[in-house]
Chains A and B, each alone.
Chain A
Amino acid sequence: MSDIFKKIRLSIFVPMLLLNLIGVIAISSTSIHTKAAGNYAEKQIGFIFFSFLVAIIIVAIPFEFFKKFAYVFYVFGIGLLIYVALFGKVVNGAKGWISLGAGLPNLQPSEFMKYFLVLALARYLMHQESYHRWRDLLIPFALSAIPMFFLLKQPDLGSSMIYMPLLFTLLFALGFRLKKTIFLFFLGSTLIFLLWNFTEKIHSYQKKRVWAFLYPENYLDKEAYQLNASLKAIGDGGVFGKGYQQGTVHGFNQLPESHTDFIFAVICEDFGLIGGAIVFALFLFLIFRLMGLLNETKEPFALCVILGVSIIMFYQVVISMSVVLGLMPTTGLTLPLISYGGSSVLANYFGVALAINASNHDVLMVSKSEFSENV
């Protein structure tokens, strides 16, 4: 029995479900929830159930399947991105959604692409020799850059921002030379800088978001409105919070995107520093547990997958929270497990399930070529 539990990794799912619960409570507290548009909290519960079931299935699937079809997943993801670029639905100025028809929620491929990329990178990087020389980096770089290209076309700056840090951290963990890693970091930054200035792919409103971040006083009415509202809401919560559904800023519709991007501000306003601390603790615990999964296996592909998933989870949490706390310009990246959104919840459960699956998969014998000499 305990074997099964161990397999399912309760210590991972419990924090996830707790975070989900906090999310549902927060969503039901927002003003969106009471509008005629739809019962968001209930929908979110449905998403969670569905994602949980999917996760169970993923964990049960033999791991080789993922190893074998890693690139297929990647290509499938790219295919979705292309489809979205051609036939996608525009939401909030970005063409990032596929509508599945009446009654079904919309699908956001960018959420899944991250994890497909992890599979592809893991597949490529699992051989040791393939990351010591410069030219071997070409392929991982390309693998990461292609989704970025499509994402910037939507445009979705926020999601695309994760790919480069993911690549670098992964390389760093895998033992890539420090100097070269740093060099690569600067290369990536230059790429972003070039893209920023010389392409139309980053629209002016994205740029405005950055200006609004740097000089909020000048943009109080529009672009910085969200930022200021978020800070006010958080500060308004104080240490103990104002109480469930009693937050003034989001309660009077003064906080945009309160059920998605800024859900954390809602938690802070309703439940104060205490609520925020609980969320921090849960995420920290989750990320540490995810990384702890590394101990369970020695198989290189699996290690890469686990690492990739943990890194993604970490960066998503950090970036999303930084935006809400006013430390970064708005990106559009959602807070995993807490934000409202079917694709987001499903993708994150998918990723975690992959990691768990990977951790369950160990080999007694590995061939020389697959074995890293430093483990």
Chain B
Amino acid sequence: MFRFRIKIILLMNLLVMMILFLRLSFLQYYKGDEYNLEVRNANIIEERLEPLRGSIYDTNGKSIAEQVPSFNLILNPNSFPFTDNEFVKDIKNFRKKSHKLKREDRKKEENELIARLSIEVPRLLKDPLLIKLNQILKKDSNTLIFELTNVFNKSIKGWLLEPLFYNLKYEEAISVEMQFIGVRGINIESSSIRSYPQGWSMAHIIGQIQNLQEDEVDEIVESGKLKRGPNTVVELSMAEHQYLLTRHELANLWVGRSGLEASFNRFLSGVSGESISEKVIVKNAEGEVVPEYINHLYSAPVVGGDLHLTIDVELQKIAENAMRQPYKSYLNGREVVRNYVGAFIALNPQTGEVLALVSMPDFDPNALIPPMDKNVVDDVLLGKTQPSYLKAFNRVTQSRYPPGSPFKIFVALMGLEDNIVDENFTVLCTGAMRFASGDEYRCHNISGHQRVDIIKALKKSCNIYFYTIGMKMGTDRQNYWSKLFGFGQKTGLELPREYAGHLPVIRLNSKKMPITNLYVDSHYSIGQVDLETTPIQMARAVAVFANGGYLVSPHIVKNEALSKSKTKLPIKDKNIKIVVDGLFEVVNTPGGTAYATGHSDKIEILGKTGTADVGGHPIQKSPKWNDIYYRPSQSSYPPHAWFVGFAPRNNPKIAFACVSEHSGHGGEIAAPIVKKILEDYIQLLQIREENEPKG
């Protein structure tokens, strides 16, 4: 043996060990702090603290929307003690080793397990513990299978578990807790859920909440707005309080999709809070070494703001009831019983506050609180049960109705203001205007109203009188006045996707001069041209006559500034009075189109009926059919029935617009609805006054 070589080997030993030791020192001395920070960061837990969503109240403080405590049932298939079930065991084994598998193998096994679900889950229903559970929950087996399949599906894929059932009743939750004490894999989670305590009411006002969809989440993630909060221990002291969400948290967020839940989503949501804790190992009092959480940052969530509406829930319900009664109508000569499809809106003419807003058909907003029933989604959102009458549309703000005769109210004023007519001007109505060319402009009374002045023209709704005004004014000038009354523009109501309406477009000839079209000019005045209005525009416009000539700002959320912001229109008081007189006679003197059906002894109603044709008359080019705004079906169906007005004459409290699609005459159909609503409302107000504490 070479002594020398042995010495060399020993030297190499020493050298190598020194190199290793150097490496160790490098890691622990030079990079020690860096690694320490990295390890600490890996054990930091950031939690989002859910803010409470704000509530919505009516004008008297009644709760319309609120968060209520809810109990969700969570079942974890991985730990729930199913009795000796092969499938469950297979899933458990798979989950244990899945992280060691390659992606393709993992997917393959996942799919195999998922394929077995349809057979295995129904088998699981025989499990004694599940039977015991269902004795409390009392769900039918199909529901149970469906929900269990969902949960198992997520468990196989390793996703975060969702509750098996949401919204357990308090007694059910307690029973489950007590009967399953100590049983693993099942527990009750208390959370809060949206509730609309007024029940099946105000669907279009409230709107609907929903989870963010996949593509929306993707969009936010890609926009780079998803920045995580502080993520090093060093930055903890400089934490921002605005908590930005992770992708998973985004996907579970509820956002408003329609109605006030949507337009005030941010306001109602509040601001998330945040809690950052670090998991460390400490020695406790008994000298044991245990993991513990140290909290580094706690920022409380900011509760969402509450909305106080101008809506009076009781008036709203009166209106909804009135529009839910089936009515008799005539279709192709036969008498039929139908449900109203249409809208009713009542607002305070002095302030523009909306008191009631009804769109029919409607739905139960509670049914759309997630998780949503598939049938409800099909019915309400996809319109599968009644394809021509989509329930989700808000016909007060999103519709395109031809105004018909009620538009005469405004034409009357236009004529007076432009000095085309005055209170003494008369026209002879013989049933039609005949032209040399052979054209006929008809009045709805074939024999004619004989001599009419402006009051009588309104009372009887004589077309001929208004044709006269229209032909003299021209479309352009009528457009000018229409805009003044707020037509062709949004009212600014706080509900989303309001339709601004549409005014007739004047065509230009080759010399860029407007082409006069006598037909359009005249029929404009009876509201039967390419003119589209929404009920809320009508109500706002008629309110001008109820408040002495002001255009108010309709709003549904209490707002003093808006209540006071009204624009005085350049119209004379005496002209207003003339029109008002006319509106009075329509309802309150015999022969008025609304006298028979709309006259009431309990409250003085003023208004104008309308029978708006929708088929037969040529209509100018309009925006396309499958726009997002609702368009009632055009065919040879009966015309829409309108009734627009206010009540009472002195110190008017309500300006209203009511429309019922394809129902017939305004006087026959729409006026009775309004009469019923207003009479019930008066009664309600009287009861309230009596119940108010004296003094």
Which A positions have Cβ atoms within 8 angstroms of B?
A: 169, 172-175, 222, 231-239, 242, 245-249, 251-252, 254, 268, 272-273, 276-277, 280, 283-284, 287-288, 291, 294, 300, 303, 307, 311, 314, 318, 321-322, 325-327, 372, 374-375
Whole-angstrom CA separation of A6 from B34 in the bound complex: 48
Tell whether A284 pairs with B279 under 8 Å between CB atoms, given A238-B32, A273-B29, A276-B24.
no
- Shortest distance from the beta carbon of B515 to any chain A beta carbon, whole Å: 73
Contacts of B291 in A (CB 8 A): 251-252
Contacting pair A284 B17 (CB below 8 A):
yes
- Minimum Cβ distance to chain B for residue A218 (Å): 15
B525-541: contact bitstring with A at CB < 8 Å (1 yes, 0 no)?
00000000000000000
B43 proximal to A (CB < 8 A):
yes
Interface segment among B8-16, B147-155, B332-340, B554-562: the answer is B8-16
| Cβ contact within 8 Å between B24 and A234 | yes
Chain B residue nearest to A372 (CB atoms) is B1
Residues in A with CB closer than 8 Å to B33 are 238
0/1 string, B469-510, CB within 8 A of A gives 1: 000000000000000000000000000000000000000000
Would you call A325 and B9 a contact (CB within 8 A)?
no
Interface contact A273-B39, CB-CB below 8 Å: no
Judge whether A173 and B9 touch: CB under 8 Å.
Answer: yes
A300 to B25, CA, bound (A): 40
Most buried by B among A232, A272, A280: A232
Chosen A-B contacts, 29 in total, with CB atoms closer than 8 Å, are A172-B5, A173-B5, A173-B6, A231-B27, A231-B35, A232-B42, A233-B39, A234-B35, A235-B39, A236-B35, A236-B36, A236-B38, A238-B28, A238-B29, A238-B33, A242-B281, A249-B39, A251-B291, A272-B28, A273-B29, A284-B13, A287-B13, A288-B10, A291-B6, A291-B9, A311-B9, A325-B20, A325-B23, A325-B24
Query: Measured between C-beta atoms, what is the minimum distance from A252 to chain B in Å?
Result: 6
CA distance A173 to B40 in the complex (A): 48
Are the CB atoms of B9 and A239 closer together than 8 Å? Answer: no
User: A277 and B32: CB pair below 8 A?
Assistant: no
B1 touches A277 (CB 8 A): no
Q: How far is the CB of B222 from chain A (nearest CB, A)?
A: 23
Which B residues lie within 8 Å of A238 (CB)? Answer: 28-29, 32-33, 36
- Give 15 new A-B contacts, CB below 8 A, not counting A173-B5, A246-B281, A325-B23: A174-B2, A237-B32, A238-B32, A239-B28, A248-B43, A251-B281, A251-B289, A268-B28, A280-B20, A283-B17, A300-B1, A327-B23, A372-B1, A374-B1, A374-B2
Closest CB of chain B to A12's CB: distance in Å? 16
A311 and B16 alpha carbons, distance in the complex (Å) = 13
Min CB–CB distance A296 → chain B (angstroms): 13
Q: Which residues of B contact A175 (CB under 8 A)?
A: 1-2, 5
Assess the A248–B14 pair: CB atoms within 8 A.
Answer: no
Q: Number of contact residues on B: which range applies?
A: 35 or more
Q: Determine whether B602 belongs to the interface, using a CB cutoff of 8 Å to chain A.
A: no
Given contacts A173-B2, A314-B13, contact A235 B36 (CB under 8 A): yes
A362–chain B nearest beta-carbon distance, Å: 14
Determine the distance from Cα of A300 to Cα of B42 in the docked complex, in whole angstroms.
Answer: 56
- Tell me, yes or no, whether B577 is within 8 Å of chain A by CB: no
| Across-interface contacts of B6 in A (CB, < 8 A) | 173, 291, 294, 307
Q: Which residues of A contact B35 (CB under 8 A)?
A: 231-232, 234-236
Q: Within the assembled complex, what's the spacing in Å between the Cα atoms of A308 and B51?
A: 70
Give Cα A300–Cα B17 distance, bound, in whole angstroms: 28
Q: A169's closest neighbor in chain B, by CB?
A: B9
Selected contact of A277 from candidates B13, B21, B38, CB within 8 Å: B21
**What B residues does A318 contact at CB under 8 A?**
16-17, 20
- How does the 8 Å CB contact mask read for B37-54 relative to A, with 1 for contact and 0 for none? 011101100000000000
